[in-house]
Structure 1
């Protein structure tokens, strides 16, 4: 599942005022107080992550976001002077208590993997750790060292599509289990901060499943290491461009070639090459009037363009691209989002307007 759909759920409940006005704006800060807000559905405890004119967003001790409309908040109290994430053993115990009886929780350095107890332990954890090392290593080599995740990265591996669809609906990623397309093999939710996949017959031997796992793992890593912001300030083309660039296993292979032609995502390359591109399409991608909306766009064409432009920038302007993502990762849903601001941020990072790179991008893709 692509992240914009999940972020749209957050956008509907964007807070300030009352006692919460004394809490600082900005990025998470160690030691920020633990507060409790009581709304129509009962109390929610966490750290104040972000406030807008209409809503407060709290992060709980397992890393999930909760958006509470100000109009529905009946009570506020400060529970403790210091917010602290759950230690990994306690987080694992809570996940185990939440899960089915036949599920087990496996811990790695960065991950807590919830998986059917009968499956081989360690398989997914080791794979996810390799993805994590590859993604963070690429940025570190280009001068931007991603920060360590504050919370354990939770990956839930469902043993069947039915289990996966039911969980997706319960999490709000789909209106109902019946509306989850069977072709969907996984998604990352910035709200729950969890990666969810279902393991088809053949497991990791299924190529589309492998690509999905990498794609959604990249989203989760980026949203937890400072490259993207979970409240929704990251442009969709940036988030999807990074995930589609890295979902090709050859890109992340430690033993693989570093030549662009050996790292391509074949499906995205084919789509980009076979679709016509009007003059100014890169300006529209970066600074179009509709922002993240796919109004008037074919989604596969959008992903193809996001992949091609990101892949091009990573191979021709890697250091600048890495710094660009870090700066974009500082923006939140409370920051103004308009075409001029998006265009200015791109120009500040790369020294040129997006549209001026169309010819160079065309030559780069033709050589792949």
Structure 2
């Protein structure tokens, strides 16, 4: 499995990460509207445990404050009674500034390269135009939305991708991020705003990594783009089926390319389709749509069903009701920061756009999925 409960919600799975996810979980988090004498957006300077932090205050609860850093990371610090205003406004690092800092962080075994939107760290031994590979996926994402008359904002930060040199390095990098490591080949973290993946020369796993590499690049890049272009809101609890379903649409090369008059069979994600067909035929998917919409627990208890159903529902709406579907997804990007929705509110959020009872929706989705060719 490409993503076992990680990807865009990677920050909710460990004690350390749960602190950084407080914006999703803590009902008393409030957005900071303005700090200091310069208006709504300022950069502050905070000293904590012999370190100095610069950034834009985002929100706070009784104990913690979320600080948006110049490189796009979000750091939680103890709430400060006093913050020194460092400057008016907030100016993120340029790609050059960020590349220099990443080069210093990762050392001589790694190099960096940049494209219009991406700054990539990669092993010195793996020479390739990595940044352009990610840029190509970004352009396909942007073109899909443009074909549907949707303009997206430019990312505020350079989009960082870290390609580590071994599985062991990758696993160590996950230590403070996620519990689930088996079969994870890459992830996007909303804490760091970075995609992390790896390459390997180990013949025991190289073949499988190569097979999954293209899908990993696409899936995690779509997450990163969507959370940086205003499609999803990085600072609220995005329904997981929505973010995962949207990313899985683009795993299909035909869906990304969007050629005129191509048959629907070229836009199908066959890996997800085959799984979902079996689950509809066996009855395992019965009555699961409402369960998935109400909360995200099914992604932990039955990830095969959850991911396949999230793709199937997203593909159904993307094909049958494209305008409605995209308006629904984009509503998330306009959600109030630090919003924390109850299961009933999640259902209402869905029903406001797709006014259809779940029995009827399941029958239509089942018929649609079973009508698609399996290869």
Scaled to the shorter chain, the TM-score interval is 0.7 to 0.9
Deviates more, 1:211-220 or 1:273-282: 273-282
Count of aligned pairs: 349
Which of 95, 103, 106 is residue 96 of structure 1 equivalent to?
103
Structure 2 CA distance, aligned partners of 1:21 and 1:50?
Answer: 5
Deviates more, 1:333-342 or 1:56-65: 333-342
Deviation at 1:199, TM superposition (A): 1.5
Deviation at 1:362, TM superposition (A): 1.4
Map 1:105-254; keep pairs closer than 5 Å.
105-122=112-129, 124-169=130-175, 172-174=176-178, 180-181=181-182, 183-201=183-201, 206-253=210-257
Structure 1 CA distance, aligned partners of 2:266 and 2:161?
Answer: 29
Deviation at 1:144, TM superposition (A): 2.3
What residue ranges of structure 1 are gaps of 5+ in the alignment?
25-29
Task: Assess, with a 3 A threshold, how the Cα gap between structure 1 residues 43 and 312 changes in structure 2: closer, same or farther.
Answer: same
Map 1:355-366; keep pairs closer than 5 Å.
355-366=359-370
| Paired residue secondary structure (2:155) | coil
Deviation at 1:222, TM superposition (A): 0.8
| Paired residue secondary structure (1:365) | helix
TM norm structure 1? 0.85
Deviates more, 1:307-316 or 1:344-353: 344-353
Question: 1:81 corresponds to which residue?
Answer: 88
CA RMSD of aligned residues (A): 2.8
| Paired residue secondary structure (1:349) | coil
Structure 2 CA distance, aligned partners of 1:109 and 1:204?
Answer: 30
Structure 2 CA distance, aligned partners of 1:357 and 1:306?
Answer: 14
Which of 58, 63, 76 is residue 67 of structure 1 equivalent to?
76
Which of 1 and 2 has higher RCO (CA within 8 Å, sep 6+)? 2
Deviation at 1:113, TM superposition (A): 0.9
Task: Assess, with a 3 A threshold, how the Cα gap between structure 1 residues 242 and 355 changes in structure 2: closer, same or farther.
Answer: farther
| Paired residue secondary structure (2:365) | helix
Query: Deviations along 1:231-287, whole A, 9 cap, x unmatched?
Result: 23211110111122212333213559743322222221121111224654222221x
TM norm structure 2? 0.84
Contact 1:106 1:113 in 2 (8 A): yes
Deviates more, 1:36-45 or 1:59-68: 36-45
Task: Assess, with a 3 A threshold, how the Cα gap between structure 1 residues 278 and 38 changes in structure 2: closer, same or farther.
Answer: same
Question: 1:11 corresponds to which residue?
Answer: 21
